[in-house]
């Protein structure tokens, strides 16, 4: 039986008259959508549109909650007590669940956005708060985390299903984190380069960092970015390469975790 | 068997450092809470606090969604397409459902807030959109509406359970609507006056309007306002009078509708 | 002496990570910028960038205040008391003045945005409130209005300098208003068509409406839209045609009004 | 000639239906108002009301800008680049200046609010950015700062007039900062205690910290808090004690600085 793997992309990141990304294009090529929930991006109208289109195309739905900071697109660190973090998580996941119900679909995973995700990678208490909030809303929700982070640890500790995520179009720093967006080579926009990185991850279980280190990775799901003009091309090339290598790309709930 | 009736109050209407109403006081005397959902009032923290306290006290939970207008407290009319109304309804109901799950309780009714409720009383298309959104999220949710309004009609037309609401502490205009908040006698702050109005409604099925008209009403649930300093006293007096008259005051899902 | 005329464009309509329009391109071709002031679009960072670039290029600055409705981009009608309209006008004009001072430049005109402008065209009381607020902040500010509208009348009535505006890239309805943005032919994206419309306005003092009517217009300033991909091309073509016809395109304060 | 001193209070901290503080009461007893500017509190309507009343009563006006965080009331630390801090400062000062012009008065001082003020006390770069923004908008604006802080240093370094502020109703920690609001004895609500602290500051030039240390202070202006129920009583008692001791309480621009 073919090994199963998933491609995910962040979506519904527009707001009112503002548009970012390429939701239509990405919905045609990935199998799972991380949907912004209105705090850092994603008003109810753009959320509804993505949910309806995702339902039609069999794309599975995840909540992509962030800090309450539309101006900063959720990329600014905000200091908040842990119980407030739990509250903004539950609120956003629930909002998407309500809209998903109205669209005849359901939410099956959660992936924090931006600064909230970055902070949860290294802050154990924050990671625990996020895992607690996901379990409190629905313990069957899959938590998406980078293997080896505090969020990954917290999800497993609370018994959540945890999907390990790797990036097709982001480079890695020697410390194992994604390289900073401020660096010129943070993004990989060449499909061939992305394919090479993904194939190395999937076949060899390692990624080559910017400093040349071979770092072990674990890949249940592969993230591609729709706000890059090259996003759809990268996703198509990676999908084709995975298929050629005998892997089956499926919605996240169909990937065996563990 | 005693006839069953319900008292409800709007709650969680604070925001951050701002506080309005008397959630603690009202949670001790009413059996159902209409919880603001973050658009016109009610941040995730104040929502969480009310949900936890309501769960402890056996108070049933309703969503109290409004326009996305914190500045206007949801009391300003905003012109929006009907599908956008459906989206803001589903989003807010879902957000409260998610937080209720996290608090170990659930949402059992929906009552629109402020300008949205006022507009839905008289605008058939808007009322239909609201009823559609409630049904799409969860068709078992009880819709709270004033008997005879367009919202009442729309709820019944779509097969939703509909609870008829009357007001203990608001006066009625001759056209059957609540009298305008701009009038000096819009609110009833004297508990004895509220008791008299409620008893007339419950026993005789009518209310005396400001112009002296006897207007028929139907009462499954009685609203009292926690943002009036007299709210708790009014609610206590009404509860005592109902009990003395042999009625049983219960959470909204326990009131037989129809 | 050559007759003087002005080209203006709306700018600074982005917000955080969101971008709309082509501020860089438009700043190179028009002589006056209508700068969004943070309520419907335009955060302080994008405002600062446009102010600095406009100052460098000798582009004159106008405030472009709108309803407090980022989600609706200021295009939704919101019902507010007149004194509140005056307050949101003074706040936004002042905010831009403060930022302009910090950038070493100043604000010389005001043009309301979106629904606020549309409502002020036909609602005399709202138009008076807007004119009062402009005069109260600084009576030397030029009010930009379409000739014949209530806003035009109100500005003159209060003794404000009023600049009559026409549109290079919008079609006109038979009632004299701009044709609705919902119509497929609301925008003119063909530079030659824009040039023809502008030349007719400038030379003959009329515009041909969608219904074929010849309607008189008065043109101190010509608006072009930077959020159309064709905006810069239209502005360049119009500028060239005006120059060829012997007109001088200048910043708005240099156009003789009256 | 009597030594001159000033009492200031934060005002206009409400938002829409939400009210905090006692603007009416405080405007009758202090000579200078720090007016919230809409980012962490203070919508244009409440700002307009305070400006009009302050103008009538001869109370001088200061801007009280904060982080763009209504939910957190400006008390949450937000990490932003320095040029963005300058932009939010200029925007808010300007907005108040515009509204002050419309109310026939003017802005004469600036005092940052909450987390922004706390951070500027200890972060030299942030303090410099704030001082730069004040100077860029209007170099005659008085910067209010606690003597010895980074903000105090930055204001003097850029040549701004700087008023040293002490607190009548807050206790001081041994490190010279205000004691944390999380401590039970952070606020002084007993007028006699406030009078004693103020008299010690004014006569002896020192304050006794919570740990019993005698710390030197410099007082051009004394802050009292209107959101404490005891605020007006404290301000009255302090004013009476200052007068009895032969000092003259005046608007901030009338206090000789230096």
DSSP codes of every residue in C22-87? -HHHHHTT-SEEEEE-SSSS--HHHHHHHHHHHHHHT-EEEEE---S-TTTTT-S-B---HHHHHH
Q: Are strands A162-167 and A221-223 parallel, antiparallel or unpaired?
A: parallel
Chain A residues within an 8 Å CB radius of C72: 16
Query: What are the tens digits of pLDDT across the range D165-205?
Result: 999 999 999 988 889 888 999 999 999 999 999 999 999 99
Instruction: To the nearest 10°, report the CA torsion of B149, B153, B154, B159.
Output: 140
ipTM: 0.96
**Minimal Cα–Cα distance from A160 to chain B, Å?**
15
Q: How far apart are CA A15 and CA C166, in angstroms?
A: 30
Q: Looking at residues D107-120, what average pLDDT do you find?
A: 97
Name which of C102, C103, C138 is nearest D101 (Cβ-Cβ): C138
**Minimum Cα–Cα distance from A72: chain D residue:** D80
**Minimal Cα–Cα distance from C1 to chain A, Å?**
44
Residue A176 pLDDT more than 80? yes
Cα separations in angstroms, D194 against A221, B127, C65, D34, D204: 62, 57, 45, 20, 15
**Minimal Cα–Cα distance from A142 to chain B, Å?**
16
Chain A residues within an 8 Å CB radius of B44: 84, 87-88, 90-91
The answer to whether C94 contacts D90, with C-beta atoms less than 8 Å apart, is no
User: Which position has the higher pLDDT, B177 or D245?
Assistant: D245
Residue B192 pLDDT more than 80? yes
The answer to whether D80 contacts A77, with C-beta atoms less than 8 Å apart, is no
Q: How far apart are CA C42 and CA B68, in angstroms?
A: 19
Do residues B147 and B205 lie in contact, with contact meaning Cβ atoms separated by under 8 Å? no
Mean pLDDT by 10-residue block, N- to C-terminus, for chain C (258 residues)?
Answer: 90 95 94 98 98 98 97 94 98 98 98 96 97 98 95 98 96 90 91 96 95 94 91 95 96 94
Instruction: Give the mean pLDDT of chain B.
Output: 95
Query: What are the tens digits of pLDDT across the range D28-39?
Result: 999 999 999 999
DSSP secondary structure code for residue C205 in this structure: S
Give the pLDDT confidence score for residue D86 in this predicted structure: 98
Residue B229 pLDDT more than 90? no
Assigned token pair, D222: 């004394």
Q: Looking at residues D49-71, what average pLDDT do you find?
A: 97
Residues of C within an 8 Å Cβ radius of D: 38, 44-45, 47-48, 83-84, 86-88, 90-103, 133, 136-138
Q: Are strands D206-208 and D214-216 parallel, antiparallel or unpaired?
A: antiparallel
Residue A154 has phi, psi (to 5 degrees) of -65, -40
Give the pLDDT confidence score for residue C119 in this predicted structure: 96
The rounded percent of chain D whose pLDDT value lies above 90 is 92
Q: Could you tell me which of C108, C197, D17 has the C-alpha nearest to residue B13? A: D17
Lowest mean pLDDT: which of A138-142, B18-22, D29-33, D71-75?
B18-22
Residue B172 pLDDT more than 80? yes
Assigned token pair, A208: 């080559």
The vertex-C70 CA angle with C69 and C74, nearest 5°, equals: 55
Chain D residues within an 8 Å CB radius of A76: 78-80
**Minimal Cα–Cα distance from B18 to chain D, Å?**
6
Name which of B16, B71, B72 is nearest D73 (Cβ-Cβ): B16
Residue B175 pLDDT more than 90? no
Q: How far apart are CA A61 and CA A58, in angstroms?
A: 9
Name which of A17, A20, A41 is nearest C73 (Cβ-Cβ): A17
Q: How far apart are CA A180 and CA D167, in angstroms?
A: 43
Chain D residues within an 8 Å CB radius of B72: 16
The answer to whether D71 contacts A68, with C-beta atoms less than 8 Å apart, is yes
Residue B34 has phi, psi (to 5 degrees) of -95, 110
Query: What are the tens digits of pLDDT across the range B117-149?
Result: 999 999 999 999 999 999 999 999 999 999 889
DSSP codes of every residue in C208-233? E-TTS-EEE---SEEEE-TTSTTHHH
Assigned token pair, B111: 């009552």
Sign of torsion, CA C72 C75 C80 C81?
A: positive
Name which of C43, C71, C75 is nearest A15 (Cβ-Cβ): C71
The answer to whether C90 contacts D44, with C-beta atoms less than 8 Å apart, is yes
Assigned token pair, D106: 């003017």
Residue B2 pLDDT more than 80? no
Give the pLDDT confidence score for residue D1 in this predicted structure: 55
Q: Whole-prediction pTM value? A: 0.95
Q: Looking at residues B52-79, what average pLDDT do you find?
A: 96
The vertex-C137 CA angle with C109 and D56, nearest 5°, equals: 180
Return the biggest CA–CA distance within chain B: 48
> End-to-end distance of chain C based on CA atoms, in angstroms?
17
Name which of D43, D72, D73 is nearest B71 (Cβ-Cβ): D43
Residue B212 CB partners (closer than 8 Å, separation 6+): none
Position B226 confidence tier, pLDDT thresholds 50, 70, 90: confident
Instruction: Give the mean pLDDT of chain D.
Output: 95
The answer to whether D15 contacts B70, with C-beta atoms less than 8 Å apart, is yes
The vertex-C227 CA angle with C170 and C111, nearest 5°, equals: 65
Residue of C10, C12, C14, C17 best to disrupt the A interface, most CBs of A under 10 A: C17
Q: Could you tell me which of D206, D195, D235, D187 has the C-alpha nearest to residue D59? A: D235
Chain B residues within an 8 Å CB radius of D41: 17
Residue D213 pLDDT more than 60? yes
Position B227 confidence tier, pLDDT thresholds 50, 70, 90: confident
Chain A residues within an 8 Å CB radius of D71: 68
Residue A240 pLDDT more than 60? yes
Name which of D69, D71, D79 is nearest A77 (Cβ-Cβ): D79
Give the pLDDT confidence score for residue C17 in this predicted structure: 94
* Chains in touch with D (≥3 Cβ pairs < 8 A): A, B, C
Residue A1 pLDDT more than 70? no
């Amino acid at each position: 039986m073919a090994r199963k793997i998933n491609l995910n992309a962040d979506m519904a990141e527009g707001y009112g008259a503002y548009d970012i990304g390429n939701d239509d294009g990405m919905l045609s090529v990935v199998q799972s959508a991380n949907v912004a929930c209105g705090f850092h991006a994603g008003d109810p109208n753009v959320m509804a549109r993505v949910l309806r289109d995702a339902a039609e195309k069999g794309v599975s739905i995840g909540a992509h909650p962030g800090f309450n900071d539309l101006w900063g697109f959720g990329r600014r660190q905000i200091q908040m007590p842990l119980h407030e973090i739990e509250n903004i998580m539950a609120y956003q996941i629930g909002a998407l669940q309500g809209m998903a119900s109205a669209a005849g679909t359901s939410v099956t995973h959660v992936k924090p956005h931006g600064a909230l995700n970055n902070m949860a990678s290294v802050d154990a208490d924050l990671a625990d708060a996020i895992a607690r909030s996901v379990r409190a809303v629905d313990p069957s929700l899959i938590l998406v985390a980078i293997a080896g982070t505090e969020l990954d640890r917290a999800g497993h500790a609370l018994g959540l299903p945890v999907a390990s995520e790797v990036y097709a179009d982001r480079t890695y720093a020697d410390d194992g984190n994604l390289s900073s967006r401020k660096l010129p080579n943070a993004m990989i926009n060449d499909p061939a380069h992305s394919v090479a990185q993904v194939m190395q991850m999937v076949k060899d279980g390692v990624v080559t960092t910017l400093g040349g280190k071979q770092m072990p990775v674990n890949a249940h799901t592969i993230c591609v970015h729709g706000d890059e003009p090259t996003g759809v091309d990268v996703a198509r090339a990676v999908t084709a390469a995975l298929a050629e290598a005998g892997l089956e790309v499926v919605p996240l709930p169909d990937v065996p975790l563990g």
